[in-house]
Amino acid sequence: MIPNRHVYVLGGASTPFIGKGHPDFVWPKHPDFGKRENPTLEEHLTRAIMLALETTGVPASAIQRGFVANFAGETFASQGHLGAMAVRAHPDLAGKPWTRVEAACASGGCAVVSAVEALQAGYDVALVAGAEVQTTVSARVGADYLARAAHYALERSIDEFTFPAMFARRWKAYSQAHGVTDADLGHVGLKAYQNANRNPLAHMRTARRSLEWCQTASDQNARFLQNEELKEHLKMSDCSQVSDGGSALVLCTESGLARLGKRPSDAIQLRSVGQSTGPLAGVTDLLALDTTALAAAEVFGDTGVGREQVGVVEVHDCFTITEWLMLEALGFAARGRAPELTLSGATAIDGRLPVNTGGGLVGFGHPVGATGIKQVVEVWRQMKGLCGDYQIASRPVFGVTANMGGDDRTAVVTLLENVA
């Protein structure tokens, strides 16, 4: 969808993404255990909103419409009704219309879509915030909650870790069809950790991983699935993190920019957004993300922008194999050819198509409701030169984000332009 009224991303921010493996994450062996608690869902949501307002210099009173992205507040944090929770962040937000948006791991992307639609309907300034807390339970219990993003009755039983098993199934099919191995896929994991090591907000910012670690199963990098057929096809280093965190963005129209005293060059333009939805439990091709491909075809078809013009990409690497499938669904590589992009260095921070420069879901982390919003924040930060140690050298003109819910059941793709 090309918005009828121009839509600008004025900027945004993320809280630090934390969880197991992050130095500030409190757990029984942490020196702060018993002295302080990890931030709550409300704290991540509030911090993300306030950071986005501070970063953009937009007063809370200027926000006309708000959306909160969250997948599983009720199960992980015993909290729903998050639109009303969000307006607690600032007294000037109270009384404005705020709504929660849920589409599993694509909640953030769908909240961006909702904001774009609200701006088409007549609002001029909108705020989109996403947050998730998942560390309140063990990874195994959390896997059961996350399995509600699949068709629970039909797909839950594949493994106690439902989503890791679903993507192990895709990697098994992909590696057999295209003749690639764990030794090749390990380069995707290595890039994620190395990028995260340069990103102060990343969940895995202090976790050092060698190529050999990412390629090889070990006691510390276990093949943890129980499904006998799939177990060989996933290691811990292939997985996104169980993270807590929040991200928020301010979006506005041209008249919103004027009202805020800003120029288009202070922002980036959202040129097009595509959303596609497939039936739960309806995956027919393990070798392709068909739903994501539809959303991508929409944004590139809408705008006529060529893939070769894109200078920065954020893809939903919920597992390492998903990064390759995403690059193929977006049209950056033909089927089975994404490994070449990684192995040639093209997707590195200094490559021709930098992908997931802050570490992606594997390295930066994956607080589910925040992820799709964080992707847009990251492209905005790269375009405006705000990424510090992981800043890419050439300032990209076009950037793409691809956010996915379930096993490619909901997809949101954005095409962003730096209108300097």
Binding site residues, ligand CAA, CB under 6 A: 20, 104-105, 138-140, 143, 146, 149, 161, 163-164, 219, 222, 224, 236, 239-242, 318, 366, 405-406
> Tokens for 47?
């911090």
d(CA 69, CA 247): 10
CB of 355 to ligand CAA, least distance (A): 16
CB of 297 to ligand CAA, least distance (A): 21
> Tokens for 357?
């420069």
Residue among 279 and 306 whose Cβ is closer to ligand CAA: 279
d(CA 279, CA 287): 17
CB of 224 to ligand CAA, least distance (A): 3
CB of 31 to ligand CAA, least distance (A): 20
Residue among 51 and 139 whose Cβ is closer to ligand CAA: 139
Residue among 364 and 398 whose Cβ is closer to ligand CAA: 364
Q: Which CA distances in Å does 399 have to 97, 247, 354, 368?
A: 30, 18, 10, 21
Residue among 240 and 414 whose Cβ is closer to ligand CAA: 240
* Dihedrals phi, psi of 286, to nearest 5 degrees: -70, -15
Residue among 147 and 270 whose Cβ is closer to ligand CAA: 147
Q: Which CA distances in Å does 128 have to 87, 117, 222, 238?
A: 12, 12, 37, 30
Residue among 62 and 145 whose Cβ is closer to ligand CAA: 145
CB of 242 to ligand CAA, least distance (A): 5
* Dihedrals phi, psi of 229, to nearest 5 degrees: -75, -30
| Sequence-distant contacts of 150-153: CB under 8 A, at least 24 apart | 150/280, 150/281, 150/406, 150/407, 151/280, 151/281
d(CA 63, CA 259): 11
CB of 153 to ligand CAA, least distance (A): 16
